[in-house]
Chain A
Amino acid sequence: MALSNVLHAPAAGFNFDHAARNAELEGLFDAQIPKPVKTGTTIAGVVFKDGVVLGADTRATSSEIVADKMCSKIHYIAPNIYCCGAGTAADTEKTTELLSSNLTIFSLNSGRNPRVVMAVNILQEMLYRYHGQIGASLILGGVDCTGNHLYTVGPYGSVNTMPYLAMGSGDLAALGILEDGYKPDLELDKAKELVRAAIHAGVMNDLASGNNIDICVLTREGVDHIRPYQVSQYKDKRKTKYKYGAGTTAVLTEKVVPVKLEVVEETVQRMDTA
């Protein structure tokens, strides 16, 4: 079948295409190589009566600095499948994008909506192939013809399925709330509140998680991606404006040099617009 990787099947083994380039780049940075941005996250998902609720915080950290205060960790995979990503920000972003395009191609080829288990299998195959080098811990949730599903895929390619899951650096905090509050067949409001509380626990107790909380509700009827669902109450008020208007810097001299261009060659190609 191999519909997912359309152009050619992935080569076996590791891909060392960028090894030479990386070695060259290492020499160029006289300070340290910039550390990858990690999402240092709290992500969670809960299966409820009519579907799945996914939640995530919005802080992306680069060591001790908050690199992005409003980063989006709930990624679109398919109209009925969304994925929360924890770990290295670039890895989660690109892996989910790759998965999404492959599943779109599959849908177009087969005329079917993708199933969550298919997305999980593709992710598992890919992440296992890279033996943990791709630092992506993902929580996939979706609703398809076979029901409501929630899976987690680890960076080494292990898959778990449970009615409630949490991943990321704040997972222990979130899992405490989920273990205490989860019941089978929750109603929508209770499920949203449970996920919100779980992410909130991560935000409060984990330094690498913070800022706002995003929620994504998936049901047979459709998707409700609420961003942000809860805004952080600890927002900083900027004391001054950091945008400088025109004229702030005094112009001492001005010199205008027109660049002379001569037409060397001109070709006209007619477009057939019949």
Chain B
Amino acid sequence: MEQTRVPPPGKRLKRVVSPVSLYPSKPLCLSDRLSLRAYIANRVTDKLTPIHDRIFCCRSGSAADTQAIADVVTYQLGFHSIELDEPPLVETAANLFRASCYRYREELTAGILVAGWDRRKGGQVYCVPIGGMLVRQPVSVGGSGSSYIYGFMDSNYKPNMTKDQCLELTAAAVSLAMERDGSSGGVVRLASISKDGVERRVILGNQLPKYSTH
């Protein structure tokens, strides 16, 4: 059955880097160059950015850098799609991200997950971490909070899960990451992309699954 790719949101939370860093679903953490204080610039950031009708990207790293790259890729992909007169492939979008991230790797701090649906390969997730690598994976995590949920994802992900199972898994994973990572928090944003379109959802702080070790 058609696998809907649920882009793991929020897993991107970046630690405070010199410019603005992103938190998954939550705030932008601004690190003042002078004082190095950690400050939440926006506690409800939307880090799931639409690149095209059925392609989204999850941004982590510097907010300024990822916003700029996403804008550039949105333009390039839109132009490409109009030229071809058909919806673009997710792999194309991922390659556009990779091209920018790799070429300017010295100047950029951007970890991006590209996810979407196209007619050729269905649901796909591509990982473009800092440095500009490109790899397609069935499931991927990113950001500063991702370190805490690699094990969770490895053990709980099974191929051919249903949409609801995927959504539940992703929400749980992000909540766990938010629990442990200081740079992550706020709300969890989910997007489910399939042939029929995009469904977006927000899980507010008080509705998150609760985990406690003590």
Query: Is residue A230 contacting chain B, with contact meaning CB distance below 8 A?
Result: no
Question: Once bound together, how far apart are the Cα atoms of A157 and B107, in whole Å?
Answer: 14
- Option from B39, B42, B62 in Cβ contact (under 8 Å) with A156: B62
B68→A157 contact, CB < 8 A = yes
Name the CB-closest residue of A to B39. Answer: A172
Of B20, B39, B44, B107, the residue contacting A158 (CB under 8 A) is: B20
Q: Is B64 an interface residue (CB 8 A)?
A: yes
A160 at the interface (CB under 8 A from B): yes
Cα–Cα, bound, A239→B88 (Å): 74
B41 within 8 A of A: yes
- Is B30 interfacial (CB-CB < 8 Å)? yes
- Residues in B with CB closer than 8 Å to A132 are 19, 33
Contacts of A131 in B (CB 8 A): 107
Chain A min CB distance to B148 (Å): 25
Residues in A whose Cβ lies below 8 Å from that of B20: 154, 156, 158
Question: A157: which of B28, B33, B67 is its contact (CB, 8 Å)?
Answer: B67
* Structural contact, B19 and A160, CB atoms closer than 8 A: no
Query: Whole-angstrom distance from the CB of B21 to the nearest CB of chain A?
Result: 10
- Chain A residues in 8 Å Cβ range of B139: none
For this complex, 20 residue pairs linking A to B, each with C-beta atoms less than 8 Å apart, are: A124-B67, A124-B68, A127-B64, A128-B64, A131-B107, A154-B30, A154-B41, A156-B19, A156-B20, A156-B63, A156-B64, A158-B19, A158-B20, A158-B41, A158-B63, A158-B67, A160-B28, A160-B41, A160-B42, A162-B42
Q: List B residues at the A interface (Cβ < 8 Å).
A: 19-20, 28, 30, 33, 39, 41-42, 44-45, 62-64, 67-68, 107
Report which A residues bind B (CB closer than 8 A): 124, 127-128, 131-132, 154, 156-160, 162, 172
Known interface pairs A128-B67, A132-B33; 14 further A-B residue pairs with C-beta atoms within 8 A, sorted by A's residue number: A128-B64, A128-B68, A154-B20, A154-B30, A154-B63, A154-B64, A156-B62, A156-B63, A157-B67, A157-B68, A158-B28, A160-B41, A160-B45, A172-B39
Closest 5 CB pairs of A and B: A158-B63, A156-B64, A158-B64, A157-B64, A156-B19
